Amino acid sequence: MSKKPPNDKAKAKSKAEPATRTIALNKRAKFEYHLVERFEAGLALQGWEVKAIRAGRANLTDGYAYVQDGEIYLIGAQVTPLIQASTHVVANDRRTRKLLLHRHEIDKLIGGVQRDGYTIVPTAMYWKGNKVKLEIALAKGKQEHDKRDTAKERDWQREKQRVMRRHNKDA
C-alpha cells in the first residue's frame, strides 16, 4: 500500500486564483482625470446593499468622495435595491456611505484635496475575501486637449495591435 504524495498542483491553483473579484468599475475616471495616487477603502454598508452588490447592482459612474468633519464619504454611487431583499427598509439607492480608512490615509487625502486641489474619485469596487472594498484615487481633472491625447493614444495602441496581429498571422 503506497500513499500518493499530495497533489501540489491542485494546491498551487487554489492559491493562484485572485482573491479580489471586481464588482463595478468607473471607466470614466481614467478618461476624465489624471489619477495620482490610489487607496483601498472599506465601505459602511447596510444589509440590503450587500445583497444588491452580490447581485451585481452597483454603479460608480457618477460617484465621488468628499471630506466632512475629518471623515470621508462616498456620494452619488448607486446601489439599486433588490425588491425581495429590501421589503422592510426604505432603500435610498444613492445614499451617502462612509469610507473606512486609516487615519494617516484620511490625512493624506484631506491634504491633497485642501492644499493641492485634488478630487477623490472612486475607480473600482471589488470583493476582498467577504468584504466589499472601494478603490479611490486622488485625481486632477483633465483638460480637453488631454482627453484628446488620451483618445489618440488609445486608438494608436489599438491600431498597433492590429498591425502586429496581421504581421504575425502572415509570418
What pTM value is reported for the model? 0.71
Q: Give me the residue spans of the domains in the chain.
A: 18-142
- Mean pLDDT (the chain) is 83
Report pLDDT for 1: 52
- Is pLDDT larger for residue 5 or for residue 132? 132
Q: Mean pLDDT, to the nearest integer, of 135-156? A: 85
Four-way CATH pick for 18-142: 1.10.260.40, 3.30.70.20, 2.40.280.10, 3.40.50.300: 2.40.280.10
84 or 59, which is more confident: 59
**Per-residue pLDDT at 147:** 77
Handedness of CA 55, 56, 60, 66 (dihedral sign): positive
Q: Is the pLDDT assigned to residue 38 strictly greater than 90? A: yes
Cell of 64: 465621488
Strands 119-128 and 58-59 come out as unpaired
Read off the C-alpha cell for 106: 484620511
Query: What share of residues in the chain are helix, strand, coil (percent, to 5)?
Result: 35, 35, 30
With a cut of 50, say whether residue 16 has pLDDT above it.
Answer: no
Q: Which helix (H) or strand (E) holds 76?
A: none
Whether pLDDT at 51 is above 90: no
Provide the strand spans (E) within 3-155. Answer: 20-25, 33-43, 58-59, 64-68, 71-75, 78-79, 97-100, 119-128, 131-141
pLDDT of 4 higher than 90:
no
Q: Which pLDDT score is estimated for 42?
A: 94
Predicted confidence at residue 41, as pLDDT, reads: 94
In this predicted structure, the answer to whether residue 13 has a pLDDT above a threshold of 50 is no
Q: What DSSP string runs through 94-112? A: T--EEEE--HHHHHHHHHH
* C-alpha span between 78 and 93 (Å, rounded): 5
> How confident is the model over 60-93, as pLDDT tens digits?
988 889 899 989 999 998 888 887 765 677 777 8
